[in-house]
Amino acid sequence: MYASYRSKSTAYYECTRRKNEGSTCCGLEAGVVDDLVAQQVLRALEPATLELSLKAIQDVHQERERLHRHWKQRLERATYEAERVERQYQAVEPENRLVARSLERQWEEALRNRRDLAEEYDRFLKEQPPHLSEDQRARILALSSDLPTLWNAAETTAADRKEIIRLVVQRVEVHVRAETECGEVVISWRGGVMTRHEIVRPVARYESLGSYDQLMNRIIEMRQEGRTIKQIAVQLNAEGYHTPRSRKGYTSTSVRKLLSRGELTRGRIGTRQLDRHEWWMPELARSLQMSANKLRYWALRGWVRSRQVPPRGLWVVWADARERRRLRKVLAGSNRGKGREGDMPSGKINH
């Protein structure tokens, strides 16, 4: 992947093969992946917080010792210089007044420098005593144990974060499913461990949502129950439905737009009657305990008996008890294999 910027504030990850070879791979906003990786890195570092805290205390202690040694060396040099000039002054002959006055001025200047340096050292001791106080040790322990605060601190640069990630992460792979907002991130950690994580990425259209059919059916169902648009929006958010881009959830405006696009705002929505043994696709998918995306893929390939109904082309699938048993058997065989979304079912479709 490579990073690109469609705006100053938003970075995207794009597939290199798509750029060089015209691949159909999809990209996604970088923030979704970056946030997940950062969260997992911080979680991985949690067991090391105590060691990190003790190391931080040790580093502070060593740094203060180094500074105190530096101050003492400066004081020793200033003291030696003052004593050296004093010996020269004492050794000069009294009749050599010109040399004596010059040495006296040098002696006074050396004593003044020694006094000023001692005063500065006293102020330094008050600000940074040689040893940490109990309160300071407690603050370091608390701060070191709060890795998110350290990670997001203004003093922590992007270069710092990248360096930390490179120490523990070897590779990050992103698998984007074009027909849904869901994707998978695979993190290969240094040491050989591999973890898999689901992400939800922003998409451009409602139709790109994996739950689009289920979403429209749910909206229609609630309108049939007589709920207001505002009530529908509240319920959609409560049930965990995602919008394509915004993280704010559904509003009255977004629900009204969906109804308008579906030509469902004019008058009362009529009850959609299903024929015998017919199911709305999301309901059948839940009954079979399978992905609605996989069932829709099968429908698009003609591997199940299905039809689309206006105005928005919602899917209806025919499945009596015998057909449901066949689909469950096919699904079990698919899950034992590679488990891809497009695994072709075997067996005859009942018409």
Reported as a single tens digit per residue, the pLDDT across 74-113 is 888 988 988 888 888 788 777 676 777 888 888 888 888 8
* Helix, strand or coil, per DSSP, at residue 351: coil
Average pLDDT, the chain: 79
Looking at residues 131-150, what average pLDDT do you find?
67
The closest of 319, 317, 318, 314 to 213, measured between CA atoms, is 314
Written as six digits, the tokens of 51 are 């060691």
The dihedral region occupied by 31, where left means phi > 0, alpha psi between -120 and 50, and beta the remainder, is: alpha
What is d(CA 97, CA 89) in angstroms, rounded to the nearest whole number? 11
Reported as a single tens digit per residue, the pLDDT across 177-190 is 777 788 899 999 98
What is d(CA 309, CA 295) in angstroms, rounded to the nearest whole number? 16
* Helix, strand or coil, per DSSP, at residue 12: strand
Whether pTM > 0.75 for this model: the answer is: no
Distance, first Cα to last Cα, the chain? 46
The closest of 88, 293, 140, 133 to 208, measured between CA atoms, is 293
Give the pLDDT score at 327: 92
Residue with tokens 């946030």: 35
Give the pLDDT score at 320: 92
Query: Which sequence spans correspond to the domains of the chain?
Result: 54-142, 206-271, 273-344
Q: Quote the strand ranges of the chain, DSSP E.
A: 2-5, 11-14, 28-29, 169-176, 182-189, 194-200, 278-280, 306-309, 314-318
What is d(CA 69, CA 166) in angstroms, rounded to the nearest whole number? 36
More confident residue, 132 or 208: 208
132 — pLDDT class (breaks 50, 70, 90) = low
- Report the CATH fold assignment for 273-344: Multidrug-efflux Transporter Regulator; Chain: A; Domain 2 (1.10.1660)
